[in-house]
Amino acid sequence: MKFTTKVVHSQLKGTEEIRSKTTPIYQTSAFSFTSLEELEGFYEGKSPYLYSRTGNPNTDELGKMVAELEGAPAGVATSSGLSAILVGILAVVQAGDHIVAAEDLYGGTFHMLKEELKSFGISTSFVDFTSEEEIEAALTPDTKLLYSETVTNPFMRVEDISRMVALAEKHNLKSMIDNTFATPFLRQPYLEGVDLVAHSATKYIGGHSDITAGVVVGKEELVQKAREKVVNIGSNLSPFEAWLTCRGAKTLALRVGTQAQNAGTLADELRSNEQVKRVYYPTDLSDKGNGAIVTIELDASCDISTFFKSLGWIKIIPSLAGVETTVSYPLGTSHRALPKEAQEKLGINTHVVRISLGIEDGGDIVSQFNEAIAASVKK
Ligand SMILES: *Cc1c(COP(=O)(O)O)cnc(C)c1O
């Protein structure tokens, strides 16, 4: 062999004898075959991999892992939370169909439904999901799907999953829920009867703020349809990001357990702070904790800009779910694009702050917030 050939072909062949403790990263765009018979075998289902857009061991590992954690038979990993939501929805609806969705959805999902899917002939009604009457009033003969989130953002409304499932069954609809904020550690909506469960794995599943990824899980038949959408649209996840997400996910219970405990401690503490007008933190999400996001509304006596400047080691980050405690400003970021009336209806104003709890010492977190609030009181 000439050098130019050797340099390409001299890498280790196969991993059978190596017995690596962790899954290797199959950072490859395609898989090799030694004969036309073997190639034919792929189409007969004898070998699982052909081309990474159609399937890869690392992305499969992530899909299967989240499915297992959710108690669902199948799952598929995708390039982002939004693409997981998209392929899940497209597994159920097509042009001419109608969706009834909660009005307080994640902004990205809201825009996808309202603009992108609408342009493909899929319409959505956004209604108050706390009202069974409003949900039923929005149904049309074309309605195929009820869509909501286990816990909504930023006010941490916990969805009544059993009511949603009962309504879907009553009207012969599918149900789908975004379980990003709750995580399968705290809630498993599939086991409560929801057909499809989506995640932005960018958040708690990955947990370390270093990837963008998504997963959708459910019954094999629906997930198979979602998988076809991933292949046809090209919203597959890269092997390395899938690998990082799986690595991060191993500590999901430890992280979310501690984060939820810190959130509970901070919520209790801030409820007794005179400068805090409201604390939004649920009490009925699960018996293992109530999530790791606390949203507060500071009193008008506080200068909001001084508050954000006085947070010391707590950074302003327009995302959530990392191991570090961070804060975000819904009015300036996640809910910026909403019309003023919608912001007012939801309660998003100049003094609302969303806190994503990390795994630091709970006492340190409480002191840092107390300090920043005290510093922000207008003289
Ligand atoms: C972040 C987020 C998404 C979107 O996920 P990406 O990974 O950013 O595409 C969807 N739903 C919820 C609840 C989120 O927090």
- Confirm or reject: Cβ of 150 under 6 Å from ligand 1: no
Q: What is the pLDDT of residues 229-269, one digit of tens each?
A: 999 999 999 999 999 999 999 999 999 999 999 999 999 99
| 6 confidence band (pLDDT: 50, 70, 90) | confident
- Confirm or reject: Cβ of 149 under 6 Å from ligand 1: yes
Helical residues (DSSP H) of 91-171, grouped into ranges: 107-111, 118-119, 132-138, 161-170
| 14 confidence band (pLDDT: 50, 70, 90) | low
The residues pairing with 377 across neighbouring beta strands, listed in sequence order, are 302
- Confirm or reject: Cβ of 204 under 6 Å from ligand 1: no
Report strand pairing: 98-102 vs 143-149. parallel
Question: All domains of the chain, ordered by start, with CATH?
Answer: 23-249 (3.40.640.10), 253-376 (3.90.1150.10)
What does pTM read for this prediction? 0.95
- Confirm or reject: Cβ of 159 under 6 Å from ligand 1: no
pLDDT for res 47: 86
pLDDT for res 64: 95
- Confirm or reject: Cβ of 59 under 6 Å from ligand 1: no
Q: State the chain's mean pLDDT as an integer.
A: 94
The residues pairing with 294 across neighbouring beta strands, listed in sequence order, are 355
List, in sequence order, every beta strand (DSSP E) within 18-151: 74-78, 98-102, 123-127, 143-149
pLDDT for res 16: 64
From the CA of 82, give the closest atom in ligand 1. Answer: 9
Provide, rounded to the nearest whole percent, the portion of the chain with pLDDT above 90: 87
Q: Which of 80, 149, 200, 204 to mutate to test the pocket of ligand 1 (most atoms within 8 A of CB)?
A: 200
Evaluate if residue 12 carries a pLDDT over 70: no
Kindly report the protein residue whose alpha carbon is nearest to atom 1 of ligand 1: 200
Provide, rounded to the nearest whole percent, the portion of the chain with pLDDT above 70: 98
| Average pLDDT, integer, range 76-99 | 98
Evaluate if residue 286 carries a pLDDT over 80: yes
